[in-house]
Amino acid sequence: MKIVKSLWLLAVLTAPALAQEPALLVVEKKANAVGFYTSAGERVSGAKVGLTPHEVVLDPTRAEAYVSDNGVLWMDYEGPGGNTISIVDFEKRERVGVIPTGKFHRPHGLSIDPRTRRLIITSENPDRLVLIDVDSRAVIEDYDNGGKAPHMVMFDAAGVWAFASNTNSDTIGVVRVGGGETKTISGCDRPQGGVLNEDGSRYYVTCSDGAIIQVIDTVAHKAIGEIKTSKGVNRVAITPDQKTLVYSIGGDDKRIGFADVATLKETKTVDLGGSPLSLTLSKNGKYAFSGVQDNDEIYVLSVAERKVIQVIKTPQGAGPDPIVEIGEYVPPK
């Protein structure tokens, strides 16, 4: 009986603490912060970062996130912008450091190679790709990205080549990291976000004005196919089984799309209550998270059921953009 009572007391005492554990880290672009949210959608804490943060990537070897302090709200705004990357410890729930990017202003997209602990970022002012050592917190090299307004970037599977979406040049820049060789791939009108498949052989990139997702062979460095969708497509992720692409469609359509990787066909779209700017998946691939910045809302979708299962209201003026799972998201009942 004493053991039963002790276990009951332990459960009572620990339940509130467990309920407060954050599952999601949200970049709050308009609030110059990142927020820590529970699965129920409660914001339990936040951390100030630089001005107008845009993108985030998790360090797979540490409990840290790197956030680009872009400094302007929209990429077509004028102005010098910021020149720092914030380091956020998501166990301490605070900013624990800053990486200065020097003359490279308006950092935006980020990708990390865990084997070398190098971070590659896009700089919008001037137009460059910038390689950073996260341990020394210093810029190592910079590269010609082969176009204008590099927006998002991703290392290939080997960490040798980087793919950059040159939004204002309608090309994908393919840059050899460490060597500086640059190639370009055409056929993508206003490229935005992209994702590699598991074996690294394919890179899927959203072409916002072209209303397609372009399929790139990462060995041949050429486009080999496309998926027709809607204008405004901007971010994309791939499910762990490699069968489905999930993507956000902004602008007038305000939807989340699903496409079959094998057939390169769109199979379903789900309407949202606002224009999404981001799309990420939970670690198990069961849930999709999309930030609707102008509504201060986060939409959570069931990937299997192809439907919205939760709408999280962030504080007014937060402006949520990308969302990443840092704990375990469990949908509320």
Which band of pLDDT confidence, cut at 50, 70 and 90, is reported for residue 98? very high
Give me the pLDDT at residue 19, please. Answer: 54
Q: Look at residue 270 and tell me if it is in a domain.
A: yes
- Do the domain assignments include residue 205? no
Q: Is residue 252 part of a domain?
A: yes
Burial class (CB in 10 A: 0-12, 13-18, 19+), 47: buried
Q: Average pLDDT in the 20-38 region?
A: 96
- For the question of whether the overall pTM of this predicted structure is more than 0.75, the answer is yes
Query: Domain range holding 285?
Result: 229-328
Please write the tens of the pLDDT for every residue from 233-291.
Answer: 999 999 999 999 999 999 999 999 999 999 999 999 999 999 999 999 999 999 999 99
- Residue 116: inside a domain, yes or no? no
Confidence of residue 85 (pLDDT cuts 50, 70, 90): very high
Q: How far apart are CA 246 and CA 268, in angstroms?
A: 10
What is the mean predicted confidence (pLDDT) over 4-16? 45
Rounded mean pLDDT, 58-69: 95
pLDDT digits (tens, 9 = 90+) for 209-231: 999 999 999 999 999 999 999 99
Residue 6 has pLDDT above 70, yes or no: no
Question: Could you report the per-residue pLDDT of 137-191, keeping only the tens digit for each?
Answer: 999 999 999 999 999 999 999 999 999 999 999 999 999 999 889 999 999 999 9
Structure-token pair, residue 12: 């009572």
What confidence category does residue 52 fall into, taking pLDDT thresholds of 50, 70 and 90?
very high
The pLDDT score that the predictor gives to residue 18 is 47
For 101-152, the pLDDT digits (tens) are 999 999 999 999 989 999 999 999 999 999 999 999 999 999 999 999 999 9
pLDDT exceeds 60 at position 1? no
Which DSSP string corresponds to 153-195? Answer: EEE-TTSSEEEEEETTTTEEEEEETTT--EEEE---SSEEEEE
**Quick one: pLDDT at residue 17?**
45
- How far the first Cα of the chain sits from its last, in Å, is 32
- CB-based contact 290:299 (threshold 8 Å): yes
Res 20: pLDDT: 75
CATH for 300? 2.120.10.30
* Residue 178: inside a domain: no
How many domains, in total, are found in the chain?
A: 1
Asked whether residue 272 is domain-assigned, the answer is yes
The per-residue pLDDT for 75 is 76
291 within a domain of the structure (yes/no) = yes
Q: Do the beta carbons of residue 332 and residue 39 sit within 8 Å?
A: yes
Query: Is the omega angle on the peptide bond into residue 60 within 30 degrees of 0, that is, cis?
Result: no
Q: Confidence band (pLDDT; 50, 70, 90) for 9? A: very low
CA separation, residue 146 to residues 44, 162, 168, 180, 197 (Å): 42, 12, 11, 11, 24
In a domain, 210, yes or no: no
| Burial class of residue 73, CB neighbours in 10 A (0-12, 13-18, 19+) | middle
